[in-house]
Amino acid sequence: MGPKRAALFARLGIRAVGDALRCAPLRYERRQLVALDAARPGQAVTLAGRIERARVGRTRDGAVTCEALFSDGTARATVRWFHQPYLARHLARGARVLLTGTLAPAYPLALANPEWEVLEPGEVPHGGPTLVPIYPGTEGLPRRWFRRLLASLAEGSAAVAEEILPGALLAARDLLPLPQALRALHLPASLEEAAAARRRLAYEELFLLAFGLALRRQEVARLPGLPLRADPGREAPVRDALPFTLTPAQERALEEIAADLARDRPMHRLLHGDVGSGKTVVALLAALRTVAAGAQAALIAPTDLLAEQLGERAVEILAPAGIRVALLRASQRGSERRAALEGLAAGSVGVAVGTHALLEPGVRFARLGLAIVDEQHRFGVVQRLTLATKGPYPHLLVMSATPIPRSLALTLYGDLDLTALEVLPPGRRPVATEVLSPEQREEAAARIREEIAHGRAAYVVCPQIQLGEAGEAEAAAAAEAHLAALRRGALKGLRLGLLHGRLRPADREGSMRAFREGGLDVLVATTVVEVGVDVPRATVMVVEGADRFGLAQLHQLRGRVGRGEHPGVCYLIPGPAPTERGMARLQALVASQDGFAVAEADLALRGEGDLLGTRQAGLPPLAFASHHDPLLMKIAREDAAAVAGEAGLEAGTRARLLLALRSRWTGALAPLRSG
C-alpha cells in the first residue's frame, strides 16, 4: 500500500500483517436485514437502500449535521449524523448504502448517527443473521473496506501464523492454537468462539509481559551488586530530629530495603502507598544508610518543581547526619552546576537530587550505590534503567504515590520486589470531597475566602487535556486565562499566583516559595502540583474540568490539602459536557478516601485500551487482556515464570518467544540480553 494509507494504518498501531491480525474488534454486532416498512420505532435495524438526497444542516442550537433522506423501496426514513458534515460529500444522491442503528422512538421513522457503509456496484447484502466485528476507526480508512481486508487476512494469512506458546501450555489451559484464534477473532461463527479467541490472545499478551519481566529479573539476580552494610547508629541523630515517629509499615519497609542493600546483588524494589503514607522519609533514610556505608545515592523526580521540593526535604532531614546534598536540574548553569558535578565525581556529595538531568552522560558519580526514582510512573522503563547504569549496578528503589492492587503490581512489576505502605501516619484526616456543577463555583469561592480569612490557602487546578509539549502549552494558557478571570471576578482582591511547567525556573520557585510562606492566598496551577507538593496551610483544592482527569490523578490532587492541623476540602467541577464515565470517576472519589480502594475503582472504570496502566508503567498498552479476569493474570504470570526458569526449554520455543518480545515491544522490556 502507499505511504498515505500506511500512515493511516500506523495510527491504529498496524505496521505489518501480524499487527493487523491482532487488531482487536471493539465489539460484535448481530445483524439481519429488515424492510423499513416492517420496522417499528425504537427498533435496532440494519437497512439496505439508497440515499435520495444529502445536505449539510444545523440543529436549533447550532450543531452542524449531515441530513439525508433514505429509501429501501418499501418506505423512507430521515437520517441525521451530528458533527459530521463531511458525510454529505460521501453520500451522494443515488448511493447504495447499508445503515445500522436504532430508529427514533416515535414516528415518523428516523435514524440518528447510524453506522453506514457504501455497497459495491451489483453487491447484494447478505439477508440472514451475521456476526459483524466493529473495529476502531480512523478517518480515511472506510470501515467496510477495513473489515473486508481483515476478513481476507483472517481467511489466508492467519493459517500460516507461527505458534509462539509451548504446546503443553495450550493443552493445559484449554487455549486455541494461534492460527485458529486469529481467524475466529475476525470471522467468528458465534460469540462464544470470539470469546475463546480473545481469551487466548489475552493470555498470550500477559504471558509475554510476564516472561519478559521474569527474564529481566533473572538478569538482575546474576549481576554483581554492591553490598552496603551501615551502622544503624548513624540514623540516630536524624530520627531524633524528626517531628514524628515512623509507623510500623515504614519500619517494615526500611528493614526490607536494608536487607536488600546488604546483599551482593542489586536491589530492584518498588515502594508504593497512598498519598501521605511516608515514602519520602523511607527513601531518605535508605539514602542515609547508603552514604553511611561509603556510597552515594541519587534521587530523580519527574519535574523541576518536585526535584526542588525533594532536595529541600533531603537537606532538612539529612542535615543532622552531616550529609551534603546537591540539586541538579537541566536549567542549572555556571558555578552551582560545576560544584555539584565536581562534588559527585569526587565523592564529597553524598546525595544527588534532580530531574532527568541526572541521566545525562556528563553526570558522573564516585561510587553510586543507590538510585531512587520518585513517581516512577512518569518515567519509561528505559529511563529508570539508564539511571541504574550510572554505577557498577547500583541498587534501585522506585516509588509510586499511586497505590497499586497487589494482583496488578505483580503483573506490571514482575521484575521488582514489592513493598506497600498501606497505613497512613496517625493524624491524617480525610479530605471532604464534593462535586459542584459549573454554576456552583461561587460556593467554592466562598469557602476559599472563608479559609483565607483564617490564614489558610487554596489551590485551583486547570486540566491538561492532551499529552506532550502541545498539551503543556494548552494547559499553561488555560491556567493563565483562569487566573485573569478569577482576579477580575470571584476571587478579586485576594493574592493570586500562577504555577505551570512552562514558567522559567526562577518564576516557578518564586511562586511556590511565596505560596508556602504565606505571600500568596491562592495558587492557580496545572497538574504540576499533583504529587510531592507539601504546603500544610493549604486547605482547599478546586479542580476545574475534573471529569477529564484520571481517578488516581484526582486522588493525588486531593492529597495536596489537609496536610496540616486543619481539615481539607476538595471541590470537583466537571467541564461543560462531561461523559458518563467521567462523572462515574468523580462519584467514585467522593465515595472513598482509601487510595487502594480508589485504585481498584480506577481499574474498574478504565477503558480496555489503557488496560492495567501499562502506559504509566512504561510498557505498551494491552489490546486483549482485562483486569476483570485476575485468574487469567495469575495463571499467565505463573506459567511464564515456570517457562522462563526451565533450563531445558526447547531452543525453538525460546527463540520464538524472544523474537515476539523484541518485535512487538521493542525498547519496552529492554535491555533483555537473555538468549
Residue 395 near residue 261, CB atoms below 8 Å? yes
pLDDT, residue 350, reads 95
What lies within 8 Å, CB to CB, of 623 at 6+ separation is 22, 23, 24, 201, 205, 608, 609
pLDDT, residue 479, reads 84
**Selected residue with higher pLDDT from 618 and 155:** 155
Domain boundaries 432-592, CATH class: alpha beta
pLDDT, residue 317, reads 94
Residue-wise pLDDT tens digits, 114-154: 988 888 787 777 665 688 898 887 767 777 788 889 999 99
Burial class (CB in 10 A: 0-12, 13-18, 19+), 495: middle
Element (H, E) at 155: helix 143-155
**Is 80 exceeded by the pLDDT of residue 429?**
no
What lies within 8 Å, CB to CB, of 542 at 6+ separation is 444, 448, 458, 459, 460, 461, 570, 571, 573
Bridge partners of 33, per DSSP, are 46
How many other C-beta atoms can be found within 10 angstroms of the C-beta atom of residue 358? 25
CA 196 to chain centre: 28
Q: Chain-wide mean pLDDT for the chain?
A: 84
Q: What is the share, in percent, of the chain residues with pLDDT greater than 70?
A: 88
DSSP 241-276: HSSSPPPHHHHHHHHHHHHHHTSSS--EEEEEESTT
Architecture per CATH, 33-128: Beta Barrel (2.40)
pLDDT, residue 470, reads 53
**Is 80 exceeded by the pLDDT of residue 79?**
yes
Query: Lowest-pLDDT range, 10-19, 539-548, 589-598?
Result: 589-598
Average pLDDT over residues 230-252: 88
Domain ranges of the chain: 1-29+134-222, 33-128, 232-421, 432-592
pLDDT, residue 378, reads 47
Closest C-alpha among 64, 126, 117 to residue 95: 117
CA 662 to chain centre: 22
Average pLDDT over residues 617-628: 68
pLDDT, residue 87, reads 87
Residue-wise pLDDT tens digits, 159-180: 999 999 999 999 999 999 999 9
pLDDT, residue 161, reads 92
**Is 60 exceeded by the pLDDT of residue 666?**
no
Give the separation between CA 506 and CA 529, rounded to whole angstroms.
17
Residue 54 near residue 78, CB atoms below 8 Å? no
Q: How confident is the model at residue 425 (pLDDT cuts 50, 70, 90)?
A: low
Query: Lowest-pLDDT range, 253-262, 288-297, 548-557?
Result: 548-557
pLDDT, residue 463, reads 79
**Is 70 exceeded by the pLDDT of residue 427?**
no
* One fold for 33-128 and 232-421: no
Average pLDDT over residues 454-460: 94
pLDDT, residue 459, reads 94
**Selected residue with higher pLDDT from 580 and 467:** 580
Domain 232-421 has CATH 3.90.650.10: no
Give the separation between CA 94 and CA 88, rounded to whole angstroms.
12
pLDDT, residue 505, reads 75
